[in-house]
Structures are given as structure tokens and as C-alpha cells.
A = this chain, B = another copy of it.
């Protein structure tokens, strides 16, 4: 609980209309999209300026009160669950697009802007902001930056970090710093911009961001390639890229995923083949057509049983929307859906998919796999029941083995979801004890009192991933 004297100080800063500590408010912000993590914050604050945030942080830093910055809470790593209580910062009053600069191809935004609204606003000017996490309809750009969100267009265009040029950040001590700017080239000191992207709210509070835009691609085409053999599909992913073609999107869906997605979205996805590749290319028309022809050829050589190009924009849109709905579709089947994002070099996709299936069989758990195959970023998704302790134990064992396999293949424990609370026991698998120590030193440098999103990223003990806290 926030002591009454401090509570009064905080209310003085933001006003009582933007300070909430009713049970309802606390409950509303006690969880995010991650199953089985919940903890009540002590209060919820909705700041409307960096000055308010500076004042709040100064007080919290002095009194050791946790601060959890939160966008729409769509993350899947329990990154915004206030596991140690404290204050959840919500940015619904800092949700403006401040400037679209058409000469410098940048957009400057407040953290609370919804990703899709940003994308639509710049597209209306013929510009393009590529990072498109599946949650983009509700996710905020602040959340995307803190998690370094990926998306379906990551293969060709990269992820959030590739588009953040500059940040305004409030540090735990109340200092406000500006990193980078509108120039893509800037080597004045350490690249704090990139350090903060993906820092999961553990170093400071991002209060403004300048993002890079690119010209919008002239055209886009979408293709479905169907495979009887899962391995053949995975090998085809590698073959396309080895042929020096980088599609905008190169998604993989296994048969169980296709089945539930089709059941949910009804867009004509095949449900009778073992694997589907959803492939998009964008760019100048001549190039897109040439690439699509070559990709079709490579798919056929790779034993695709069918290769079909969407005949209209509506059909193409329906397919990618269906793919984006995979999590929602899968979530209907059983009480708990755990979506992971073990990632491997793309040449290892086939080996990884096989390993996931073997591991699921070994532990007798249901895992569907889909994801951004072109990036080697798979989403093995377990359909389970969080109330069944015995089953959950097996799920944990299975995922731990999946993470270990990803590392063994030269990959990582998380491609785009972050470590959060959920994967902190596994961080050292990827970066080693020395790497964890180096990262902890960075944390200590910015946040010596440990108020920023405590309990995230770093394991305190060997606690396993699916734990109900507080």
C-alpha cells in the first residue's frame, strides 16, 4: 500500500481524476495478456506530461515504490504484470501523434498511440511504418518500443528497433534525457536509444519517440503454398532466401493451427495439408511479379502440393488477417493458451519444428506451431489448462526443452516477446551468467534503487515460468 502522505503527494501531481486505487482499478491493471500471471498494483496513474512523470518518479525513487509502465498489456511474457505491486503508469492521456515530417520521413509520437492508428496515419501520406505486431489493433507504440515488437513484415523490414531514431526518456531519478533525433546517423556517445528499445520498462519511462518512416511499397501480392510434408515446407523457407529473395512476409502454419484459424476466420485456409506457407512480397509491380513467379517455382521444386496467389486485395487481406488471428483462434480451444517465441537461425527451422513436435509428444501436451518462419521466429503454442497443476508441470518441462533446443541450434529464448517475468529463469541459457551479470550492471546503472518494473528480466531464484504471484 502507498502510505497516505505519499499518496497525497502523488495526487497533488496528477490530480485525483488520474490517480486510481479503487479495487476495480487495481484489478483492471493486475494482469496482461500472459496467462496465469496476476498481481494487484497499489495504484494506477495516468500521467499527461513528462513533467508529471518526472515528479512521480522522483517520489517513487526516493521511497522505493515500483513503477510499471504499461501500454495495452498485449505482451505475452508477463512484462507488465505488477508482480511487486507499486504504481502502474498508463498512457491513455499521452496518445498523440505529434508530427509527421514528410521531408525527413519521420513521425514523432507519444507512447500511448495505438500502433495501427500510427500506421494508418502515415499511410495516408504515402509513408510506411513496417513493424506490425499481431496485436497492432490494440497495442501501443510505447509498448512496442519497450518490448521491441516484431511482426509479420519483420523479415524484409526488420523490427521496432530498426525504426526508433530518437527517444525522450524519464530516468528513475527524475532526469529527462533525449537520445538520437531525426538524423539516422548519430554517434554522439553510446546508443542509448537502442539500449532502451526492448528494455521492458526496466530502465526508465519512455515519454516520446521519433520513428523512421519509409516510402510505402507500390504494390503487394500474397501467396499460399501448401505442403503435405512439414519438413519440406520448412526447407522451402530456407530455399527462398538462399535464392536471394527476401519476401516481406514468410509465415508458417502447421495443420492444427490452420484448422482452428479457418474454423475461426473462415477465409478458405486449407485444413487438409500438414503445413502452409503464407508469403507476401511488396515493392514495384515488376519486381513483385518476378519475385512471386520465382517463389512459386521454388515452392513447387520444394514439393508444394499447391501454390495459389490471392486474386484480389480483399482475398489477400483476409488471409493475413486470419494469420493475425491465430492466437485468438487457438485460445478458444482450451482454458489456457501459452504462446512462445523460441527463435532459431532460419536454416534450422525444419529441425526446430521437428524437435517441437517430438517434445510435445514426449510430454503428452498439445502444441500447435506457427510463426514468422522467414526470421526463424516460431510460435509453438500450447493449449492447456492453467488449473491443472500436473499438466502445467509437463508444459513447463516441454517449454524448457524447447528453449534449450533453440539455444543449441544457435537461436534464442525469445525473438519478439521479451523476457518479462515469464522467461527470466531462462535468460542465462541464452546469454550466460556473465551476460546476465553485464545486463544487471546496466540495470543498476540506470535504476540503482530497483524501482523500474522490478522482478522482470532477471531471475531472483530458480522459480519456474508459470507461477501465480502475490
Contact = CB atoms under 8 A, between A and B. Distances in A.
Interface of A: 101-106, 126-127, 147-148, 150, 154, 158-159, 161-162, 171, 175-179, 181-192, 194-195, 197-199, 214-216, 238, 241-242, 244-246, 283-284, 286-287, 290, 343-347, 372, 375-377, 410-419, 423, 427, 430-432, 434-439, 441-446, 457
Nearest to A243: B215
A186 B238 CA distance: 19
A431 B103 contact: no
Contacts of A445: 438, 441-442, 444-445
29 contacts: A148-B187, A148-B191, A150-B185, A158-B184, A161-B194, A171-B434, A175-B437, A177-B434, A177-B438, A178-B432, A178-B435, A179-B431, A181-B345, A181-B410, A183-B376, A186-B414, A187-B198, A187-B418, A188-B427, A188-B431, A189-B457, A190-B198, A190-B439, A192-B438, A216-B244, A284-B290, A438-B445, A438-B446, A441-B446
A416 B104 CA distance: 18
Contacts of A246: 214-215
Given A195-B195, A242-B102, A344 B183 contact: yes
Given A178-B431, A188-B423, A215-B244, 9 more contacts: A158-B184, A177-B432, A183-B343, A183-B346, A183-B410, A189-B436, A191-B198, A195-B195, A442-B442
A427 B412 CA distance: 35
Nearest to A458: B189
Contact of A159 (B185, B283, B347): B185
Contact of A347 (B104, B184, B287, B413): B104
Contacts of A188: 412-414, 419, 423, 427, 430-431
A411 B181 contact: yes
A162 B162 contact: yes
A419 B185 contact: no
A272 to B, nearest CB: 30
Contacts of A284: 284, 286-287, 290
A185 B376 contact: yes
Contact of A126 (B185, B187, B244): B244
Contacts of A191: 148, 161, 194-195, 197-198
Q: How many copies does the complex hold?
A: 2
Nearest to A423: B188
Looking at A244, A245, A376, which has the most chain B CB atoms within 10 Å of its CB? A244
A185 B413 CA distance: 11
A375 B183 contact: yes
A446 B154 CA distance: 31
Contacts of A148: 187, 191
A367 B402 CA distance: 60
A110 to B, nearest CB: 19
Contacts of A443: 190
A448 to B, nearest CB: 9
Interface core residue of A177, A189, A215, A431 (most chain B CB under 10 Å) = A189
A147 to B, nearest CB: 7
A103 B185 contact: no
Contacts of A103: 238, 241-242, 345-347
A187 B287 contact: no
Given A195-B195, A412-B181, A445-B442, A343 B186 contact: yes
A272 B147 CA distance: 53
A241 B101 CA distance: 12
Nearest to A284: B287
The interface centre, meaning the residue of A171, A185, A346, A414 with most chain B CB atoms within 10 A of its CB, is: A185
A434 B443 CA distance: 17
Contact of A154 (B181, B185, B214, B418): B185
Contacts of A197: 191
A442 B190 contact: yes
A412 B345 contact: no
B184 A154 contact: yes
Contacts of A423: 188
A220 B225 CA distance: 33
Identify which of A104, A343, A432 gathers the most chain B CB atoms within 10 Å of its CB. Answer: A104
Given A191-B198, A432-B177, A412 B343 contact: no
B185 A434 contact: no
